[in-house]
Structure 1
């Protein structure tokens, strides 16, 4: 498999999708109603259309397991929405037609198998709406292992450099980031424990996405005393891989004890952290299963670390569970 070509096409497609998403964001009212998801819908579908088109044209035999499909868009009452999506796509691909856009979106209806892409065209819906963090997440899974992962984070600003980063990781070849508009690749490396100023903890903005009380208890048990940094989307994986945080926890919320994570919400980020020297598992230390289904049914929670503290974090979680 030609991983150089895979990366080249994937990078270009995420750059296109990020342009579309940022154009949509310019038109989101500042006080948008939470239940009004129309800008998100337009951006989600437009992003998926662009990425799926690029991947399918070059790699027609690799299925794409995407978050969206065009079923609802084909209904008569969705005419305005699909027209808006098509207009945004045409800003990138002027020859695009509505029928083609619908077809490109549905390229994401592939099935989990021996070799497939998994795609989240916009991860972090609420962050996207409030002009904060979101990610475009794409991963290639081959024979049960994530081989390639890309995270487009158009709104992410790290301590060094500009706003907007694209993270790229290939199994065994390291993790890198580049300005999302293009530029030099910068090698990623997780933080050392001695770097106290960056020995931080990231978690989701939304309390319902985890158990924030327990997460803070666990962070303190491994010596992290500062307040958590709350960030939407898989941008958290990018932050850990860049060495700007040592820990990201997503432990099961008491409100949703039976929730299982979607593979497209973690696959790309996981390899980005692992190839930067970190470690990713569920709360029991088990590897995340990206190969069996679209949901990680055999995993509970997600633990992401700089590697050095991983076993200590897992032990702290188990100790808490035994005592509660």
Structure 2
């Protein structure tokens, strides 16, 4: 179906589909031990197991490709991580029976690659808090060439094929290839349906997707943006890049990424934005920073040259950027 990146697409979809099945199984159990990263977001067995599985697929099929991913196994190589590592290995063995401690650790650490002219980015479980509470999370994978995202895949265990929330449902896979559109398929099927953003042009009718966790955003600034745009629908809370898939399917129009109070220096990780950005763009929407600049995926593991993120159906992007400017908010104080 796809004229370019056919091999990469097949490998990515297969790898993400298997990872989503693994994540769903672990989420259903959710009794696995977890620990805390330095940034206090939960690290789960699912994170490491999904990363190991996808890294394995890339190693076997595209051995020269570089992977830049969220996790590394160093936090597992101590007494605290020993039980978690055993659980990770057990999880991976469900799909790769010959996996052991050393191979799983090596697969995880393939994600420590450096940015280059061609590399993959992976968030093995985007939305770990949503995962832990049984809500929305995604497996997010993208291929970047010469600074441009050319392939993006979102594995959505708790969105149906219409990309509406369906906890415990069949799940879906969202796929975007540059120049060839955004598509969705059931997790266990092959039927592809093309995605298209909504045609809504009135800010007052815009459906806004926002972080489920209030600690992940700035409530005061979000309220000011909603008032400035005179948005009438109640904002929809949702975890992870599942928000991106929902917007790309035409079920919402706006997403603002705002730094929480007290975290002025926080930057977006590239794996949190690269897969979803292409999904939205290929569905007809726009993704920029607060100044209207395209996201720059060449400046390291974070978006070091961008200030904030705005996602829209395209029709409302100008109004969203104008609202930010009218508020007199200096993004440099938010994402310095």
Query: Which residue pairs with 2:264 in the alignment?
Result: 257
Query: Which residue pairs with 2:181 in the alignment?
Result: 174
Aligned to 2:314, which of 270, 295, 307? 307
**Structure 1 unaligned blocks of 5 or more:** none
Query: Which residue pairs with 2:334 in the alignment?
Result: none
Q: How does the TM-score come out when normalised to structure 2?
A: 0.89
CA contact under 8 A between 2:196 and 2:248: conserved in structure 1?
Answer: yes
CA shift, 1:166, in A, is 1.0
Query: How has the CA–CA distance of structure 1 residues 215 and 34 changed in structure 2, closer, same or farther, with 3 Å as cutoff?
Result: farther
SS of structure 2 residue aligned to 1:260 = coil
Q: Does 2:328 correspond to 1:321?
A: yes
Q: Report the count of equivalent residues.
A: 323
Q: Deviations over 1:193-235 (max 9, x none)?
A: 1699984110111223222332243244445311100100010
Query: How has the CA–CA distance of structure 1 residues 96 and 34 changed in structure 2, closer, same or farther, with 3 Å as cutoff?
Result: closer
Tell me, in whole angstroms, the C-alpha distance in 1 between the residues paired with 2:125 and 2:299: 23
**Structure 2 unaligned blocks of 5 or more:** 331-336
Tell me, in whole angstroms, the C-alpha distance in 2 between the residues paired with 1:59 and 1:29: 34
Aligned to 1:292, which of 284, 293, 299? 299
Aligned to 2:27, which of 11, 25, 28? 25
SS of structure 2 residue aligned to 1:155 = coil
Query: Which residue pairs with 1:229 in the alignment?
Result: 236
SS of structure 1 residue aligned to 2:73 = coil
Query: How has the CA–CA distance of structure 1 residues 255 and 242 changed in structure 2, closer, same or farther, with 3 Å as cutoff?
Result: same
Query: Which residue pairs with 2:275 in the alignment?
Result: 268
CA shift, 1:155, in A, is 1.0
Query: Which residue pairs with 2:132 in the alignment?
Result: 129
Query: How has the CA–CA distance of structure 1 residues 91 and 33 changed in structure 2, closer, same or farther, with 3 Å as cutoff?
Result: closer
**Aligned-residue CA RMSD in angstroms?**
2.7
SS of structure 1 residue aligned to 2:56 = helix
Tell me, in whole angstroms, the C-alpha distance in 1 between the residues paired with 2:82 and 2:260: 38
CA contact under 8 A between 2:42 and 2:129: conserved in structure 1?
Answer: no
Q: Does 2:119 correspond to 1:112?
A: no
Tell me, in whole angstroms, the C-alpha distance in 2 between the residues paired with 1:102 and 1:155: 28
SS of structure 1 residue aligned to 2:183 = strand
SS of structure 1 residue aligned to 2:327 = helix
CA contact under 8 A between 2:203 and 2:229: conserved in structure 1?
Answer: no
Q: Does 2:147 correspond to 1:155?
A: no
Query: Which residue pairs with 2:250 in the alignment?
Result: 243
Query: Which residue pairs with 2:14 in the alignment?
Result: 12
**Segment of structure 1 superposing worse, 220-229 or 199-208:** 220-229
**Segment of structure 1 superposing worse, 239-248 or 287-296:** 287-296
Query: How has the CA–CA distance of structure 1 residues 190 and 86 changed in structure 2, closer, same or farther, with 3 Å as cutoff?
Result: same
SS of structure 1 residue aligned to 2:93 = helix
Query: How has the CA–CA distance of structure 1 residues 6 and 174 changed in structure 2, closer, same or farther, with 3 Å as cutoff?
Result: same
Q: Does 2:57 correspond to 1:49?
A: no
Tell me, in whole angstroms, the C-alpha distance in 2 between the residues paired with 1:71 and 1:34: 13
**Segment of structure 1 superposing worse, 159-168 or 244-253:** 159-168
Tell me, in whole angstroms, the C-alpha distance in 1 between the residues paired with 2:309 and 2:227: 17
Query: How has the CA–CA distance of structure 1 residues 74 and 123 changed in structure 2, closer, same or farther, with 3 Å as cutoff?
Result: same
CA shift, 1:8, in A, is 0.3
Tell me, in whole angstroms, the C-alpha distance in 2 between the residues paired with 1:194 and 1:311: 11
**Segment of structure 1 superposing worse, 165-174 or 152-161:** 152-161
Tell me, in whole angstroms, the C-alpha distance in 1 between the residues paired with 2:233 and 2:41: 37
CA contact under 8 A between 1:282 and 1:301: conserved in structure 2?
Answer: yes
Query: How has the CA–CA distance of structure 1 residues 229 and 38 changed in structure 2, closer, same or farther, with 3 Å as cutoff?
Result: closer
CA contact under 8 A between 1:118 and 1:138: conserved in structure 2?
Answer: yes
Query: How has the CA–CA distance of structure 1 residues 112 and 43 changed in structure 2, closer, same or farther, with 3 Å as cutoff?
Result: same
CA contact under 8 A between 1:199 and 1:244: conserved in structure 2?
Answer: no
**Segment of structure 1 superposing worse, 69-78 or 264-273:** 69-78
Q: How does the TM-score come out when normalised to structure 1?
A: 0.92
